[in-house]
Amino acid sequence: MVRVSRVHPGSVAEQIGILPGTELLSVNGRELDDFLDWEFLTAEEDLLIVARSPEGETVELDFERDLGEPLGVELEPPRVRRCANKCEFCFIEGLPQGLRRNLYVRDDDYRLSFAYGNFATLSNLKERDFARILEYRLSPLYVSVHATPWEVRKVLLNNPRVPNVVEQLQRLAAGGIEFHAQMVIVPDMNDGEVLQQSLADLWALGDSVLSVAVVPVGLTQFSHLYSGRSMDEQSTRALLEQVERWEARALEERGTRWVFGSDELYLLAGQPLPEAAHYEDFAQIENGVGAVASLRQRIATQLAELPRLDGRRIGVVTGQAMAPLMPELLERITARTGASFELLVAENSLFGPTITTAGLLVGKDVVRMLEARADLDLALIPAESINEDGIFLDDVRFIDVRENLPMPVFPSYDFIDVLSLEGEGVSSSGAHVAIAR
Ligand code: SF4
């Protein structure tokens, strides 16, 4: 059963009497378990839907609609499938106590992998799940592989019942499913020979594996494995060289780089980040692979849209990872706009100094960096640090931060999004507000 949360006005669903709160029980004789069943089973023209109205009455809705015409129904969010692993390096395990409850939910859900690109380990897949993935052709899936040697993967995921991921991927690949894989590298656990074997196993799956991201582990100060240091330059350099050897082979044999080091891997290794073309279709940009190249590209192509902002003093809050890369970008924006920028590099007060990503800065960090800066006309903060409800990871609300700082503050993805609005800016909710001159 799935429950309706919203019905679009004027939609087919409204016309046939579906209401918010209606329980959808079956479609053309097949029971509904979740949003996937609903999406795939309602792809037909002729539909017989059995539903229970909010008053508890069971009704049959027999109708025909034009193929492709949306039904206009939104469903309540699915119950997320929980993770059965206990990885020592798990970021969620490394969260401090006392944050909002949903931050502690460890999902491992192939449905969300297909629908939203969330990574899943597939270690909780049942026979029925395999059947659904194959029947509905849920492809591509985003898979946290980490290591293919079975025994190593059991240790890494801290779960002796983890299935053999190579066999799982082979079975799905034989049914036409494709994958984007990620390898979070924990030094001395799945680097070196283990990584070599893992990449060889994924390579042997042929074109089914669309891309592989190699990402150095990020440990917070609350993690069991926390040592107070990030991966060192020497080990990340060795990792990057291994990635580059595979890239070269993949380019020669398949015409794609196939495996990509995350931005953080290049930064920790002290190596220059590649240009945008390196990342092909940016398949794993959400995983921090090519995000800097994409930012540079957006600034280069949209710089001409920026207005003159002569005399403006603009603060830019960022994390330590991006700090060395910012001056080059800000110099270009300064040359175009005439504004003067000041980089404000914040240490992460919640997760500790090894977490240097700008998008994980918290509300407290932003306040600390800006509260005494009445000299600034405007401040930009990383838009990724706020969720869709306008809340930072430390539960501080953006509107509270904004109201209590002495200058207008705007979340920004790429500077252009805020600065291109000459004489005005946008709040996180999209409302236009004046920028102080
Ligand atoms: S699989 Fe992911 S969510 Fe589950 S314990 Fe490991 S890192 Fe955490």
Residue 225 reports pLDDT greater than 80: no
pLDDT mean over 340-348: 96
In which band, very low, low, confident or very high, does the pLDDT at 378 lie, cut at 50, 70 and 90? very high
Instruction: Label each residue of the chain as H, E or C.
Output: CEEEEEECCCCHHHHCCCCCCCEEEEECCEECCCHHHHHHHCCCCEEEEEEECCCCCEEEEEEECCCCCCCCEEECCCCCCECCCCCCCCCCCCCCCCCCHHHHCCECCHHHHHHHCCCECCCCCCHHHHHHHHHCCCCCEEEECCCCCHHHHHHHCCCCCCCCHHHHHHHHHHCCCCEEEEEEECCCCCCHHHHHHHHHHHHCCHHHEEEEEEEECCCCCCCCCCCCCCCCHHHHHHHHHHHHHHHHHHHHHHCCCCEEECHHHHHHHCCCCCCHHHHCCCCCHHHCCCHHHHHHHHHHHHHHHCCCCCCCEEEEEEECCCHHHHHHHHHHHHHHHCCEEEEEEECCCCCCCCCCCHHHCCHHHHHHHHCCCCCCCEEEEEHHHCCCCCECCCCCEHHHHHHCCCCCEEEECCCHHHHCCCCEEECCCCCEEECCC
pLDDT digits (tens, 9 = 90+) for 405-418: 999 999 999 999 99
**At 432, is the pLDDT very low, low, confident or very high (cuts 50, 70, 90)?**
very low
pLDDT at 280: 97
Cβ < 6 Å from ligand 1: which residues? 83, 85-87, 90, 92, 106, 108, 121, 144, 157
Q: What is the mean pLDDT of residues 132-137?
A: 97
Lowest mean pLDDT, pick from 100-109, 275-284, 383-392: 100-109
Reply yes or no on whether the pLDDT at 431 is more than 50. no
pLDDT of residue 354: 82
For ligand 1, the distance from its centroid to the CA atom of residue 418, given in whole angstroms, is 36
Q: What is the model's pLDDT at position 66?
A: 87
pLDDT value of residue 166: 98
Q: What is the pTM of this model?
A: 0.88
The pLDDT-based confidence of 422 (bands split at 50, 70, 90) is low
pLDDT tens digits, 8-32: 999 999 999 999 999 999 999 999 9
Instruction: Give the Å distance between the CA of 417 and the centre of ligand 1.
Output: 34
Which residue's entry shows tokens 């100094």?
353
Q: How much is the mean pLDDT over the chain? A: 92
* Residue-level pLDDT at 67: 83
pLDDT for 127 beyond 90: yes
Two tokens at 265?
């891997």
Give nearest CA residue, ligand 1 atom 7: 90
User: Which residue's C-alpha comes closest to atom 2 of ligand 1?
Assistant: 90
pLDDT at 227: 64
166 C-alpha to center of ligand 1: Å?
18
pLDDT digits (tens, 9 = 90+) for 313-334: 999 999 998 899 999 999 999 9
State which ligand 1 atom lies nearest to the alpha carbon of 89. Answer: 7
With a cut of 90, say whether residue 387 has pLDDT above it.
yes
Out of 108, 186, 220, give the residue to mutate to test ligand 1, the one with the largest number of ligand atoms within 8 Å of its CB: 108
For residues 143 and 87, the model is more confident at 143
Most confident range, picked from 39-48, 171-180, 428-437:
171-180
pLDDT: is 423 or 309 the higher one? 309
Contact predicate 319/263, CB 8 Å: no
pLDDT per residue as tens digits for the range 40-75: 999 999 999 999 999 999 999 999 988 888 999 999
Q: Which two tokens stand for residue 37?
A: 């069943």
pLDDT-derived band at 90 (thresholds 50, 70, 90) equals confident
The CA-to-CA distance between both ends of the chain, in Å, stands at 56
Q: What is the pLDDT of residues 231-287, one digit of tens each?
A: 788 999 999 999 999 999 999 999 999 999 999 999 999 999 999 999 999 999 999
Q: What is the mean pLDDT of residues 83-91?
A: 88
Q: What pLDDT, in 10s, does the model give residues 179-220?
A: 999 999 998 899 999 999 999 999 999 999 999 999 998 876
Of 16-20, 106-110, 257-261, 349-353, least confident by mean pLDDT is: 349-353
